[in-house]
């Protein structure tokens, strides 16, 4: 093999290596991170819509569930839970509501991002219905009661006596032009 | 055969494929960037001279800290060592040139454009990057000025340049060693650079990936780092530091290599523990991939994660300790002389070790909660970056400059520069440890009155240190133009290696026929 082709072979291999690392950073690292967070519950992300299959209600324990609502950055809506805490038995299904009002003069779309603490409770906090599964369009001045139906898994670790569910409300009007025009 | 460089100034430097000319270009470019980044540092220290806002606005201050970090890391330190690699690696392994000379030209010439793009943002509406050199999302995405796109493309270009430069170094070393030059006979500078080059090929694409994800979040509506769309800002920190931790070894490993060449020369003894040096370098490179989260102990990691990253980080002190031990043992019972390169190298060993110790302090997860994002961290990484990489780069220039241009530098001026730099460096950064432990956060343009005295001391040191660099520039220019001519190929009495067998000054083409290494 000539000297040039030896160099070229190595060049191609190393460029492919660099390309593979680029793909790894964009296509592999984020899913791995999400998977890791899902398995360990770090990050407090909750799952999607949950279907209850015949659960026994564990009446021997009561767990305090607290609700927190936060507006992200410049989000101008009124947003708060109608009750700040409830006591539930694991396995018992419960509906609670959040109040939201678009007090601006513009039609807006919001997205609520849930988070559960402590980390080891995130996997056991199931939502059968949640306004956070969809985005929330509200026209100027409109208000809404947003419902969440949740059930705590009876397998919730016994060390957990208090669970906090928090929602952060983001303004996503800019990236939802379709939605905004539908409101009008 | 054996024709010299093009006589036309522009075609010589713009179209050069000669490793020595490209090395020279890299070194001058890096020094220009060093002065630019240094100027930003002077602005920072001038503003911090007294509490309260005197000279600049807080918005501009954060642009200065960001640009100082970016320019110094990617513009000054990294190209300086690529320049040294270009000059020295072919001469050290008996090769006529780099393996891919035209790619070598390309990898240099995209750098000035990358930095022109990055620096031009300072003059644009909205200002330059203002999110710190670590550019954490969402500060660098949702809240960034529009000029962030220039920053992103600048980083892409720097990354492409580094990757091409590294591939060139790997190809040169793997394919072009002189007959008999086995891997375990290569000078340590070559070894550390090969390992560094592999690190660069592995992690620069990850940095490119991080900024690409930012670009898509900003312009194309994805949500990698945006919680509103289901992403996670903490992911950014993981991706960044997965690049960022190997990056700090990319900066320091070639510096280790330089010092491992200089200390044996002026100790007139072979390097102690050559093979352990090679294995220690490789171990450090490997460990650098599995410790990244020690930069983010405060993001809310589970305790098991903190413990793992803490112990893995402390483990790096072992191979690093091996290296420090070997440098000291090389000097032990040697016939030492203290020319300027040796002074810088000894200062490197002492101050780098000091910076290493504060690194071990920072690795303790529980204590890091206090140190995190304070001036203690700033002091720590300037001890390893400045007293590490910059001192070693300065030592390298003094050590090899006579070989490059066939003229001797002014030894007295070199020593004066060393002592000013050494003392001023410590005046600048030693007090920053105290400030950090007392709770002064980094990247702020103002501070409480209790921090006033040490900040003034630190600023005075910084101005003095900046002055020492001008003396360095003067000494180098004076040497090239008017230095005492020398023609001894050896230059230094105790120097060993192939680069000292070619004539002084090193001719335009060396080792057109490969030497035989016994």
Mapped onto helix, strand or coil, the DSSP state of residue A101 is strand
Picking from B268, B424, B442, the residue whose alpha carbon sits closest to that of residue B347 is B424
Measure the CA–CA gap between B318 and B340, rounded to whole angstroms. Answer: 29
The answer to whether residue A28 neighbours chain B at the CB level (below 8 Å) is no
Q: What is the DSSP string of A4-19?
A: HHHHHHHHHHHHHHHH
Alpha-helix residue ranges (DSSP H) falling in B332-410: 340-363, 365-371, 375-384, 391-405
The answer to whether residue A113 neighbours chain B at the CB level (below 8 Å) is yes
Separation of first and last alpha carbons in chain B: 28
The reply to whether residue B100 touches residue A11, judged by beta carbons under 8 angstroms, is: yes
Token pair, residue B245, equals 């931790």
Nearest chain B CA: its distance from A54 CA (Å):
30
The answer to whether residue B421 neighbours chain A at the CB level (below 8 Å) is no
The answer to whether residue A7 neighbours chain B at the CB level (below 8 Å) is yes
The reply to whether residue B171 touches residue A26, judged by beta carbons under 8 angstroms, is: no
Residues of chain B with Cβ-Cβ distance to A42 below 8 Å are 300-302
pTM, full prediction: 0.90
pLDDT, tens digit only, all 184 positions of chain A: 577 788 999 999 999 999 999 999 999 999 998 888 777 767 666 666 777 666 677 888 889 999 988 888 778 888 889 988 899 988 888 888 889 898 888 888 888 888 888 877 888 888 888 888 888 888 888 888 888 888 888 888 888 889 998 888 888 887 776 666 665 5
Residues of chain B with Cβ-Cβ distance to A14 below 8 Å are 166-167, 170-171, 201
* Contact call for residues B306 and B365 (beta carbons, < 8 A): yes
Please report the pLDDT score of residue A54 as a whole number. Answer: 66
- What ipTM score was computed for the predicted complex, to two decimals? 0.89
Q: Does domain B22-500 have CATH number 1.20.210.10?
A: yes
Measure the CA–CA gap between B427 and B309, rounded to whole angstroms. Answer: 32
Q: What are phi and psi of A93, to 5 degrees?
A: -90, 140
pLDDT, tens digit only, all 518 positions of chain B: 456 788 888 889 999 999 999 999 999 999 999 999 999 999 999 999 999 999 999 999 999 999 999 999 999 999 999 999 999 999 999 999 999 999 999 999 999 999 999 999 999 998 999 999 999 988 999 889 999 999 999 999 999 999 999 999 999 999 999 999 999 999 999 999 999 999 999 999 999 999 999 999 999 988 899 877 778 899 999 999 999 999 999 999 999 999 999 999 999 999 999 999 999 999 999 999 999 999 999 988 888 889 999 999 999 999 999 999 999 999 999 999 999 999 999 999 999 999 999 999 999 999 999 999 999 999 999 999 999 999 999 999 999 999 999 999 999 999 999 999 999 999 999 999 999 999 999 999 999 999 999 999 999 999 999 999 999 999 999 999 999 999 899 999 999 999 999 999 999 999 999 998 87
* Contact call for residues B348 and B388 (beta carbons, < 8 A): yes
The reply to whether residue A170 touches residue B167, judged by beta carbons under 8 angstroms, is: no
CATH topology of domain A63-183: Ctag/Cox11 (Pfam 04442) (2.60.370)
User: Among all chains, which residue has been given the structure tokens 């208000």?
Assistant: A143
Residues of chain B with Cβ-Cβ distance to A12 below 8 Å are none
Using CB atoms, pick whichever of B175, B227, B301 lies closest to residue A7: B175
Measure the CA–CA gap between B421 and B292, rounded to whole angstroms. Answer: 31
Token pair, residue B516, equals 């035989």
* Contact call for residues A173 and A140 (beta carbons, < 8 A): no
Other Cβ atoms less than 10 A from the Cβ of A171: the count is 20
| Domain-wise residue ranges, chain B | 22-500
Q: How many residues does chain A have?
A: 184
Measure the CA–CA gap between A89 and A153, rounded to whole angstroms. Answer: 9
Q: What are phi and psi of B346, to 5 degrees?
A: -65, -40
**What confidence tens digit (pLDDT) does each residue in A157-177 have?**
888 889 998 888 888 887 776
* Contact call for residues B495 and B74 (beta carbons, < 8 A): no
The reply to whether residue A22 touches residue B221, judged by beta carbons under 8 angstroms, is: no
Using CB atoms, pick whichever of B170, B210, B230 lies closest to residue A25: B210
Using CB atoms, pick whichever of A25, A170, A171 lies closest to residue B205: A25
Please report the pLDDT score of residue A47 as a whole number. Answer: 67
Residues of chain B with Cβ-Cβ distance to A19 below 8 Å are 205
To the nearest 10 degrees (0 to 180), the angle between helices B188-219 and B233-267 is 160
Helix, strand, coil percentages (3-state) for chain A, rounded to 5, are 30, 35, 35
Token pair, residue A12, equals 């191609």
Residues of chain A with Cβ-Cβ distance to B289 below 8 Å are none
Using CB atoms, pick whichever of A25, A171, A175 lies closest to residue B239: A25
Nearest chain A CA: its distance from B143 CA (Å):
10
Token pair, residue B267, equals 């100790």
Closest-CA residue of A relative to B243 is A25
Burial grade of B255 (CB within 10 A; 0-12, 13-18, 19 or more): buried
């Amino acid at each position: 093999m000539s000297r040039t082709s030896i160099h070229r072979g190595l060049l191609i291999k190393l460029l492919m290596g660099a390309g593979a690392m680029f793909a790894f950073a964009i296509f592999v690292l984020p899913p791995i991170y999400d998977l890791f967070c899902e398995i360990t519950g770090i990050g407090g992300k909750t799952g999607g819509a949950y279907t209850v299959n015949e659960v026994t209600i564990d009446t021997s324990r009561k767990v305090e569930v607290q609700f927190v609502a936060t507006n992200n950055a410049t989000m101008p809506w009124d947003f708060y839970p109608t009750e700040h805490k409830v006591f539930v038995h694991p396995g018992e299904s419960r509906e609670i509501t959040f109040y939201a009002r678009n007090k601006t003069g513009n039609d807006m779309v919001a997205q609520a991002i849930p988070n559960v603490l402590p980390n080891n409770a995130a996997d056991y906090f199931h939502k059968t219905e949640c306004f956070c599964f969809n985005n929330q369009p509200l026209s100027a001045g409109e208000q809404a009661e947003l419902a969440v139906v949740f059930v705590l898994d009876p397998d919730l670790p016994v060390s957990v006596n208090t669970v906090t569910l928090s929602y952060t409300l983001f303004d996503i009007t800019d990236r939802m032009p379709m939605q905004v025009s539908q409101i009008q | 055969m054996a024709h010299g460089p093009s006589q036309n100034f522009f075609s010589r430097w713009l179209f050069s494929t000669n490793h020595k000319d490209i090395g020279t270009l890299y070194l001058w470019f890096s020094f220009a960037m060093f002065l630019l980044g240094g100027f930003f540092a002077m602005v920072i220290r001038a503003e911090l001279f007294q509490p309260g806002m005197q000279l600049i606005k807080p918005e501009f201050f954060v642009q200065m800290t960001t640009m100082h970090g970016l320019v110094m890391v990617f513009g000054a330190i990294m190209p300086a060592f690529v320049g040294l690699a270009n000059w020295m690696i072919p001469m050290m392994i008996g090769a006529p040139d780099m393996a891919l000379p035209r790619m070598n030209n390309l990898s240099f010439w995209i750098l000035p454009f990358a930095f022109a793009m990055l620096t031009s943002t300072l003059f644009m509406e909205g200002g330059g990057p203002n999110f710190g050199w670590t550019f954490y999302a969402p500060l660098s995405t949702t809240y960034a000025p529009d000029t962030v796109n220039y920053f992103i493309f600048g980083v892409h270009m720097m990354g492409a340049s580094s990757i091409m430069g590294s591939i060139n170094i790997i190809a040169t070393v793997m394919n072009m060693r002189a007959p008999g030059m086995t891997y375990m006979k290569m000078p340590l500078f070559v070894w550390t650079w090969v390992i560094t080059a592999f690190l660069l090929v592995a992690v620069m694409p990850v940095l490119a990936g991080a900024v690409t994800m930012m670009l898509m979040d900003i312009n194309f509506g994805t949500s990698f780092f945006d919680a509103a769309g289901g992403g996670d800002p903490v992911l950014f920190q993981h991706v960044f530091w997965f690049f960022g931790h190997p990056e700090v070894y990319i900066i320091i490993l070639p510096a280790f290599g330089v010092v491992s060449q200089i200390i044996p020369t002026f100790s007139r003894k072979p390097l102690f523990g050559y093979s352990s040096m090679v294995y220690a370098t490789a171990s450090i490179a490997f460990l650098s991939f599995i410790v990244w989260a020690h930069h983010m102990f405060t993001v809310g990691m589970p305790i098991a994660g903190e413990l793992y990253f803490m112990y893995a980080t402390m483990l790096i002190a072992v191979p690093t300790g091996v290296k420090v031990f070997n440098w000291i043992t090389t000097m032990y019972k040697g016939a030492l002389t203290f020319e300027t390169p040796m002074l810088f190298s000894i200062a490197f060993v002492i101050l780098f070790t000091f910076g290493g110790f504060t690194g071990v302090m920072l690795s303790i997860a529980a204590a890091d909660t206090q140190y995190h994002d304070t001036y203690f961290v700033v002091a720590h990484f300037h001890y390893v970056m400045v007293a590490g990489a910059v001192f070693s780069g300065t030592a390298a220039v003094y050590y090899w400059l006579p070989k490059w241009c066939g003229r001797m530098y002014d030894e007295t001026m070199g020593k004066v520069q060393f002592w000013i730099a050494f003392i001023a460096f410590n005046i600048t950064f030693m007090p920053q440890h105290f400030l950090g432990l007392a709770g002064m956060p980094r990247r702020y343009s103002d501070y409480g009155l209790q921090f006033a005295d040490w900040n003034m001391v630190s600023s005075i040191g910084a101005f003095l240190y900046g002055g020492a660099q001008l003396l360095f520039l003067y000494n180098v220019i004076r040497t090239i133009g008017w230095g005492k001519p020398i023609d001894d190929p050896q230059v230094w009495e105790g120097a060993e290696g192939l680069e000292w067998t070619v004539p002084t000054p090193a001719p335009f083409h060396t080792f057109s026929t490969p030497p035989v290494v016994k």
